[in-house]
Homo-oligomer: A and B are copies of this chain.
Amino acid sequence: MQPFSFQNPTRLHFGAGQLERLRDEVPHGAHVLLVYGGGSIKRSGLYDQVHAHLQALGAVVTELAGVEPNPRLSTVRRGVTLAQGSVTHILAVGGGSVIDAAKAIAVSARSAHDAWDLILNPSLITGALPLGVVLTHAATGSEMNPISVITNEGTLDKRGWASAHAYPTFSILDPAFTLTAPRDQTAYGLIDMMSHVLEDYLDTTTNTPVQDAWAEGLLRVLIDTGPKLVADLGNLELRETAMLAGTWAFNGALAMGKDGDWASHRIEHALSALHDVPHAAGLSVVMPAWMEYAAQERPEKLARLAERVLGVHRMERSDALVAREGITRLRSFWRSLGAPTRLHELNIPDTDIPKLAELSVLRGEPFGNLRPLGRADVEAILRLAH
């Protein structure tokens, strides 16, 4: 383990009826910037419920609607303009994209710097408007972490950033609000969670039995829950399990004392910046190929994953062979949820590979811990993924 500091200040309110907690969390007479995406919260009735609560609190409400998947810098800037007046609180109602945009708005509204300058250099961030979340999609963990991903559509730079000021103050997680998520989106959420766990798990750090046991437990729960949930989207208990798993897959607990290896995310960000594919669809393509190429640096850890999580029996084989079967099983599992696992299934031609590799190293190379990756390595990974 490596020395670390850990603190997560977000208040979680989880379960049926927790939307009521808005009454404790939002002060009377607040001016709330309500941030949301498309019309799904209007169709589900959640939009009306939130408005009723805010009205009862005597809140003034300004709206930023239409936050897109892979949220864009221009949307963030639009929100900052709305927030810089008399807005006192931001309430994000949606999934990871809505929350990520709201985080960027929250920190920018309290800064003289432009949003993109803060994203490029989070040490400039000195404060934020208080941010609350009502989560409608179990996936990114953004509801209980300080991380956000914003795409600069001008430069095709999709960039993750983090700041201690970007933790939501509170997050309301009622699994009933996720019941309307369609099959694909639900499956992608599960894959996103699994990738977060795996990117902390497959790293260079040794002596991490507590973190490893939890990561393996969470992965086993997701592998058990996933197929049942995509076959039974209205099952509230399975939704509940997925929602709790998604939050704890990426709230810092599994990363304690570990360096992690987020190279797959970096490569995926290039894919979804250039082609606007769903984040998890990109991950399910990139990550197994990254495991074949880079995570083989720790074959014993990959073999442990294969045996403890993916049901591989060792049968006196080497770590490398057990690991290889594990990767094959992971691809099969993600395919069984309906996700692509090959680049061509995303309709990305192999002629795009050099451009994708170039985008991946936009912020310099090498990157990644298990095996530091340069542009040529990314090309090799994407060819393995094709």
Contact = CB atoms under 8 A, between A and B. Distances in A.
A146 to B, nearest CB: 14
A4 B15 CA distance: 7
A6 B18 CA distance: 12
A183 interface: no
A386 to B, nearest CB: 35
Interface in A204-219: 207, 209-210, 213-214, 216-218
Contacts of A1: 14-15, 240, 244
Interface string A203-246: 00001011001101110110011000000000001001100110
A218 B212 CA distance: 10
Contact of A5 (B13, B210, B245, B253): B13
B3 A12 contact: no
A7 interface: yes
Contacts of A209: 221, 224-225, 241
Nearest to A13: B5
Contacts of A217: 210, 213-214, 216-217
A245 B15 CA distance: 27
Nearest to A220: B213
A285 to B, nearest CB: 27
A213 B13 CA distance: 21
A244 B257 contact: yes
Contacts of A366: none
A5 B11 contact: yes
A233 to B, nearest CB: 17
B210 A244 contact: yes
Contact of A14 (B5, B10, B216): B5
A210 B248 contact: yes
Given A6-B14, A17-B3, A257-B15, A221 B213 contact: yes
A256 interface: yes
A8 interface: yes
B18 A14 contact: no
Contacts of A225: 209
A2 interface: yes
A248 B6 CA distance: 12
A345 to B, nearest CB: 31
Contacts of A18: 3, 5
Contacts of A311: none
Given A213-B218, A221-B213, A241-B209, A6 B17 contact: no
A209 B220 CA distance: 10
B5 A8 contact: no
A12 B17 contact: no
19 contacts: A1-B240, A1-B244, A3-B14, A3-B17, A4-B15, A5-B11, A7-B12, A9-B9, A14-B256, A14-B257, A207-B241, A209-B224, A209-B241, A210-B217, A210-B241, A213-B221, A216-B217, A244-B257, A253-B253
